[in-house]
């Protein structure tokens, strides 16, 4: 990967490049100017259209980039450059998949509204409610407006891209809106860990504890990231107890039920299940239709009922991917000024449709792979390094990377909070075995078993109905 200059702004761009990939980075970020201003990351954009696209699609990743560099939460401030109007039509005709990055003229900036640090503009009214997520939404609404212990702690779990983060941030925003005097904080478990480590190194734990234990509402996302991090778990448990004893609120989100996350202490698990635990699932067809309609309307995208139903019927992996499909259609219409027909929709989201039709979700791939190697899925999520477990874990990670749009960190999250470098290493290992047509061996019911890696992958893939 190309290394950028060693400045905070360049480090933020390097973070973006690593997280979203070169194609998206070149299209949206390579020519943008970033600058850190106190507790904000300022983004210079050429026009309001670009600002809107970045707000809708990349606000969270910009916040992550800023926080990663600064070591603490940052808000995002967009700055719009005024442009000669005659340049607008030429830019709109620029193809969405242009090889060269767009170049933007320099102009006097105009500062627009900032986003609250960490939470963006999420609210509960924007969360599309259906049969499968009704309980989660009601619990979030009650938590944001009630002092009842029934929802404390409130723990959401489910696969990636189903709206857990939306609900956490919306609860924080709605609580702040209803009670401006309350101190509310949203943070990912990874950022919590980083701040804990930094404070430990600086020997400044008092300010760290004051920052988190003095809040009225604490929302922690991706809490499975804490798996196997004993020091951070101990500090978080103390933070949890401090907030709970003060009758303050705690909201958590994870990819798995708390009892299913390996390497969590019993004390922590018992705290997590002492309140309300809510599972989040992929919405049914009618709700998916509603999501497509709502997202399209917000983006000013005019599409027929036929196209709406096609997208809702065929994109079934996650709500995030469903919204991504609408964004693809919107980019086609806005940048190329072309009407979206059923044919163009089928072409534009064909990759998403093939992924959706490939069948199982992350849990299905993990369980099927574990079954093939005669180990448990919990062993794959653990830190166990036995040869058979390590091989099975690597195969499952490779299949997830090949047959889903999950990022390396998201895949790591499915395996008890493994970091992205572990996933990259596992995928490279399997790819190397494939290229050398290597034979792998493992223990199966006490007996040694050997097969070509290609045969192993084919058998697991066939069990999952995955296309090789």
The CA distances from residue 110 to 34, 77, 81, 117, in Å, are: 15, 11, 6, 20
Q: Could you tell me the maximum CA-CA distance found in the chain, to the nearest angstrom? A: 74
The CA distances from residue 298 to 55, 80, 330, 462, in Å, are: 13, 21, 10, 41
Q: Domains of the chain, with CATH numbers?
A: 8-111 (3.30.300.180), 124-279 (3.40.50.300), 285-357 (1.10.8.60), 362-464 (1.10.1750.10)
Residue 119: the pLDDT is: 58
Known binding-site residue numbers for ATP? 161, 163-165
- pLDDT at position 239 over 80: yes
**pLDDT 10s digits, 37-48:** 878 898 988 777
Q: 0.85 cut: is pTM over it?
A: no
**pLDDT 10s digits, 116-129:** 455 567 889 889 89
CA distance 256 to 222: 10
> Average of pLDDT values for 86-111?
36
Q: Could you count the other beta carbons within 10 Å of the beta carbon of residue 207? A: 10
Per-residue pLDDT band for 110 (boundaries 50, 70, 90) equals: very low
CA distance 379 to 159: 19
- pLDDT at position 3 over 60: no
CA distance 405 to 161: 11
Buried b (16+ CB within 10 A) or exposed e, 50-60: bbbbbbbbbbb
Q: Which residue has the higher pLDDT, 109 or 412?
A: 412
Return the top range by mean pLDDT from 4-8, 256-260, 288-292, 362-366: 288-292
- pLDDT at position 68 over 90: no
Radius of gyration of the chain (CA): 23
Residue 216: the pLDDT is: 92
Residue 99: the pLDDT is: 37
Across 302-416, the runs of DSSP E, i.e. the strands, are none
Q: Which residues fall within 8 angstroms of residue 303, CB to CB, at 6 or more apart?
A: 296, 329, 340, 345
**pLDDT 10s digits, 126-165:** 898 988 889 999 999 998 886 556 778 999 998 888 899 9
Known binding-site residue numbers? 161, 163-165
**For the packed helices 48-70 and 8-20, what is the interaxial angle rounded to 10 degrees?**
110
Q: Could you count the other beta carbons within 10 Å of the beta carbon of residue 427? A: 19
Residue 172: the pLDDT is: 93
């Amino acid at each position: 990967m190309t290394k950028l200059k060693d400045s905070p702004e360049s480090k933020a761009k390097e973070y973006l490049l690593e997280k979203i990939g070169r194609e998206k980075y070149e299209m949206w970020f390579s020519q943008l100017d970033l600058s850190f201003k106190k507790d904000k990351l300022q983004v210079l954009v050429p026009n309001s259209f670009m600002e809107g696209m970045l707000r809708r699609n990349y606000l969270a990743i910009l916040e992550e980039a800023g926080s990663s560099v600064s070591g603490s939460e940052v808000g995002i401030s967009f700055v719009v450059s005024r442009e000669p109007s005659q340049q607008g039509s030429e830019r709109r005709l620029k193809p969405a998949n242009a090889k060269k990055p767009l170049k933007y003229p320099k102009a006097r900036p105009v500062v627009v509204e900032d986003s609250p640090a960490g939470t963006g503009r999420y609210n509960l009214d924007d969360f599309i409610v259906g049969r499968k997520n009704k309980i989660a939404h009601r619990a979030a609404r009650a938590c944001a407006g009630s002092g009842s212990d029934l929802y404390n702690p409130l723990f959401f779990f489910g696969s990636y891209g189903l709206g857990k983060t939306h609900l956490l941030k919306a609860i924080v925003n709605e609580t702040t809106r209803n009670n401006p005097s309350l101190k509310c904080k949203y943070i990912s478990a990874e950022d919590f860990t980083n701040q804990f480590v930094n404070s430990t190194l600086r020997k400044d734990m008092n300010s760290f504890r004051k920052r988190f234990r003095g809040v009225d509402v604490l929302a922690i996302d991706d809490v499975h990231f804490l798996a196997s991090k004993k020091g951070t778990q101990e500090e978080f448990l103390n933070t949890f107890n401090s907030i709970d004893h003060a009758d303050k609120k705690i909201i958590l989100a994870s990819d798995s039920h708390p009892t299913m996350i390996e390497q969590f202490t019993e004390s922590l698990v018992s705290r997590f299940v002492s309140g309300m635990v809510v599972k989040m699932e992929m919405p049914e067809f009618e709700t998916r239709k509603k999501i497509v309609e709502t997202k399209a309307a917000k983006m000013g995208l005019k599409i027929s009922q036929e196209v709406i139903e096609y997208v809702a019927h065929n994109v079934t992996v996650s709500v995030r991917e469903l919204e991504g499909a609408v964004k693809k259609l919107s980019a086609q219409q806005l940048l190329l000024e072309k009407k979206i027909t059923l044919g163009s929709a089928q072409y534009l989201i064909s990759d998403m449709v093939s992924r959706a039709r490939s069948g199982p979700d992350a849990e299905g791939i993990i369980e099927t792979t574990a079954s093939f190697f005669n180990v448990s899925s919990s062993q794959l999520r653990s830190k166990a390094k036995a040869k058979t477990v390590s091989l099975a874990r690597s195969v499952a990670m490779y299949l997830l990377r090949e047959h889903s749009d999950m990022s390396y960190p998201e895949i790591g999250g499915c395996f008890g909070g493994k970091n992205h470098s572990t996933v990259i290493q596992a995928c490279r290992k399997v790819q190397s075995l494939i290229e050398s047509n290597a034979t792998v061996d493992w223990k199966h019911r006490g007996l040694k078993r050997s097969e070509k890696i290609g045969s192993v992958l084919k058998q697991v893939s066939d069990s999952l109905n995955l296309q090789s």
